[in-house]
């Protein structure tokens, strides 16, 4: 008996800290779009959240009905934001579609949304159309975020329109360097970012890359976690996507890890308000 207890203790000591004391995650980049509806019903989505230790999520979908379905199912676990994408309007043309502002205005009037996005901007010119300017006006008037998937150029274009704009920069720019991300965060206090799709780059050596660690410690209160379930197959591996982030979070000081894992999102969106989040 003593030998078995010693072996069990040794196994526990060898396990990473997040496995023994798993901190909650607020996932700030989730899509529940139409192709997933028949494969992952809402109950399965929340079961995946539970298994991954995700307390709640920032959700946008194509079409928007996916987001609303999840919110109706568990309103205390879903923070809704509104994509401009719908029938015939996609990432490649939403910023030139004359009907986009009216569509967004009608849905935003329902009062259920904490932001506009995630939307794609592929160039500074696509970020400077009259449609995008109207979206910026809407977001500023309501004091809600725009969740933008783009490189640094379009982000700068958006910020030049109104310094009051609140930006959530998807994927930390996807391919932008930590220095570029840090520069934007240094210059613009109303910008936050999430690091979906970048877990492998951040923790590719099994720890945490020095440049990433420096960015996270410099801007601990401006960075969040995301998975980006933009295709159905990413729901199939949802737990693994979350765990990829847990691995590098475990190499940060506890206060920084908690801020990035959930505290920043809770502060920004009121996510999980009233819901106890503990390690």
Q: Which residues contact 241 (CB under 8 A, 6 or more apart)?
A: 199, 227, 234
Domain range holding 215? Answer: 25-269
Please give the pLDDT value at position 206. 73
**Does residue 4 lie in a domain region?**
no
Residue 19 lies in a domain: no
Total count of domains within the chain: 1
Q: How far apart, in whole angstroms, are the C-alpha atoms of residue 180 and residue 182?
A: 5
Whether residue 272 has pLDDT greater than 90: no
Average pLDDT, the chain: 91
- Is residue 262 in some structural domain? yes
Where residue 2 falls among pLDDT bands split at 50, 70, 90?
Answer: very low
Distances (CA, A) of 192 to 133, 164, 169: 20, 13, 6
168 in any annotated domain: yes
Q: Is residue 12 part of a domain?
A: no
Task: Tell me: pLDDT of 4 over 60.
Answer: no
CA 88 to chain centre: 25
Q: For position 131, which CATH number holds? A: 3.20.20.140
Residue 115 lies in a domain: yes
- The band of 274, judged by pLDDT with boundaries at 50, 70 and 90, is low
- pTM for this model (two decimals): 0.90
Averaged pLDDT, 190-205:
91
Tokens matching residue 271: 């996510």
Instruction: Tell me, yes or no, whether 274 lies in a domain.
Output: no
pLDDT in tens, 132-152: 999 999 999 999 999 999 999
Do the domain assignments include residue 17? no
């Amino acid at each position: 008996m003593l030998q078995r207890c010693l072996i069990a203790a040794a196994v526990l000591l060898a396990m990473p800290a997040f496995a023994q004391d798993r901190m909650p995650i607020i996932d700030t980049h989730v899509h529940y779009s139409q192709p997933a509806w028949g494969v992952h019903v809402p109950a399965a989505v929340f079961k995946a959240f539970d298994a991954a230790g995700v307390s709640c999520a920032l959700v946008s979908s194509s079409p928007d009905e996916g987001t609303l379905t999840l919110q109706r199912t568990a309103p205390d676990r879903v923070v809704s934001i509104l994509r401009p994408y719908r029938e015939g309007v996609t990432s490649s043309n939403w910023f030139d579609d004359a009907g986009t502002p009216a569509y967004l205005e009608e849905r935003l009037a329902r009062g259920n949304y904490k932001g506009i996005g995630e939307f794609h901007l592929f160039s500074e010119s696509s970020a400077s159309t009259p449609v995008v300017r109207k979206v910026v006006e809407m977001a500023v008037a309501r004091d809600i975020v725009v969740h933008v998937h783009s490189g640094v150029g379009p982000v700068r274009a958006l910020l030049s329109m109104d310094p009051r704009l609140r930006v959530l920069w998807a994927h930390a720019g996807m391919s932008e360097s930590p220095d570029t991300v840090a520069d934007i965060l240094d210059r613009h206090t109303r910008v936050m970012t999430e690091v979906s799709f970048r877990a492998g780059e951040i923790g590719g050596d099994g720890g945490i890359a020095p440049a990433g660690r420096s960015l996270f410690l410099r801007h601990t209160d401006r960075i969040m976690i995301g998975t980006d379930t933009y295709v159905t197959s990413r729901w199939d591996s949802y737990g693994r996507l979350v765990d990829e982030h847990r691995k590098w979070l475990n190499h940060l000081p506890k206060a920084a890890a908690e801020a990035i894992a959930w505290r920043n999102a809770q502060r920004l969106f009121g996510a999980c308000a009233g819901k106890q989040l503990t390690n």
